Structures are given as C-alpha cells and as structure tokens.
Amino acid sequence: MIELRTPAELDQMREAGRFVASVLDATSRAADVGVNLLELDALAHDMIRDRGAESCYIDYHPSFGGSPFGKVICTSVNDAALHGLPHDYTLRDGDLLTLDFAASVDGWVSDSAISLIVGTPREEDQRLIEVTKQALDAGIAAAVVGNRMGDVSAAIGEVARRARLKVNLDFGGHSVGREMHGDLHVPNDGRPRRGFPLQPGLVFAIEPWFMLGTKKIYTDDDGWTLRSDDGSRAAHFEHTVAVTEDGPVILSAA
C-alpha cells in the first residue's frame, strides 16, 4: 500500500534522514587507504547504538539475498554496483567506494547512498560519479506535484543516455516510510507522463546507479554483492525525497 505522509510525519522522517546523513558523512570521511570495510561497518554500528536507532539491514533477508545481510551498511567497491556486503577488505589507493545506508529512528526510515574515490581518483571514475550524481539531481527536480513517476524515471534515464551509459532496470528506487522498501518502484529509466501520480506527502528513495561498460550484473559468492558482468566500475547515489506543494524536499540531507 502506498501512503501519503502528513507534514508532521515528514518532520519526523526528517530526523531519521539527518541521522542517516550523519552516518554517511562519518563513514565517508573515515574511508581512506588502509581502512578495512569492516571498520566502516563497525563505525556505523556504533552510531546506530549511540543514537538508539535500528538497522534496516542487519536482519534483512529478501528473496534475492543469500542469507540475512548481517551488517549495517553496504560497502560496494569498484565493480560492486549494489548491496556490497562488508568483508575483510582493506581499501586501496584509487578504489571507487559506494556507501549505502538505511536506518529507522523512532519508527521512521530514511535511505541514502554516496559514491567516492579513496585516495587518487581516476578521471573516468570521477566522471562516472559526477554523472550519477547529476542523474539523482535530475530525478529529484522532477519529483513535483502534477508529474508522474515516469517523469522522475525519464529524467534519470536522460542523464544516463547523454553520458552513453546503459541503464539496468532490475533495481531502482522505492517508497519509504515505516519500512525501508515500500510498494512503489522507481525505475532509473522510463517514459514521461506514465506511472503513479506524484502527490503531496508521497515519500520515496531515488537511487540511480550506473556501470561504465554494461548493464548486466551477477551475484557474488557472498550471496549479496551485485557486480558488473564485465568488471567495469560502478557508482550509486540515493536520497529519500518527499513530494510537497512547495517542491521536492530531500529528507536524507544533513
């Protein structure tokens, strides 16, 4: 069921968003050459405990996951596009790292993701990150009353096409509320003026993710990490966004 949130409920969701933003800020600043992915997960875990929040990931076990996730943040490195399961890996100079984090605060969920370069950037990686962030911004700008979900998806897809990137439609955005994944699906490409009408109080995560050379993915042996089929690198950005009469509001901003 797709629900519309009241202004008071959006204020409560904003608190969850601020916390999620603080965790992504702390973990992204901690990500450096020589830092282990398990250290980043431990940092996020400590922040959840200190805030009295709840992880959306640790017991998460959807049909596409090999087992309960068991960690509190996704850490996808280089050719890992989504759902990177933290493991004993030490970050190296030039790694492309995506941090994806969702948590519940006082019963409300927020979900966000960011990609960054560890150490010395490669030009093509930096460009991929910039284009993916531009696609997120375009999707957010289209999240206005009177548009439809297809307008959001089409705005994301247009940025990818201009950059000559292929778009995978297996995973995308989703509605957010009391749970991390609601019924509403937000593809990263689509046709304008199609799909669910955008109304005040609608809340959903917009999350473009692109790979440099392909749109095909496969699941790693860990049962979770989705990797590019050709080994090319991937980037992913995400925000939880509310549709309001005054325009889109990013609930997962700092």
- By percentage, how much of the chain surpasses pLDDT 70? 100
Q: What is the pLDDT of residues 36-48, one digit of tens each?
A: 999 999 999 999 9
Residue 108 has pLDDT above 90, yes or no: yes
Residue 177 has pLDDT above 90, yes or no: yes
Residue 125 contacts residue 110 (beta carbons within 8 Å): no
Amino acid 135: pLDDT: 98
Amino acid 4: pLDDT: 97
* Mean of pLDDT values over 208-227: 97
Residue 168 has pLDDT above 90, yes or no: yes
Look at the block and give the residue holding tokens 């991929």: 128
**Binding-site annotation, residues:** 83, 100, 111, 174, 181, 207, 238
Q: What torsion do the CA atoms of 153, 156, 162, 163 make, to the nearest 10 degrees?
A: -130
Q: How confident is the model at residue 184 (pLDDT cuts 50, 70, 90)?
A: very high
Amino acid 120: pLDDT: 96
Q: What are phi and psi of 142, to 5 degrees?
A: -85, -5
**Binding-site annotation, residues for substrate:** 83, 181
What CATH class is the domain 7-250?
A: alpha beta
Amino acid 43: pLDDT: 98
**Terminal alpha carbon distance of the chain:** 29
List 234's β-bridge partners, or say none: 211
Amino acid 66: pLDDT: 86
**Binding-site annotation, residues for a divalent metal cation:** 100, 111, 174, 207, 238
Burial of 172 (C-beta count, 10 Å sphere; 0-12/13-18/19+): buried
Amino acid 16: pLDDT: 98
Q: How confident is the model at residue 1 (pLDDT cuts 50, 70, 90)?
A: confident
List Cβ neighbours of 66 (8 Å cut-off, separation of 6 or more). 219, 222, 223, 224
pTM over 0.75: yes
Residue 87 has pLDDT above 90, yes or no: yes
Chain-wide mean pLDDT for the chain?
Answer: 97
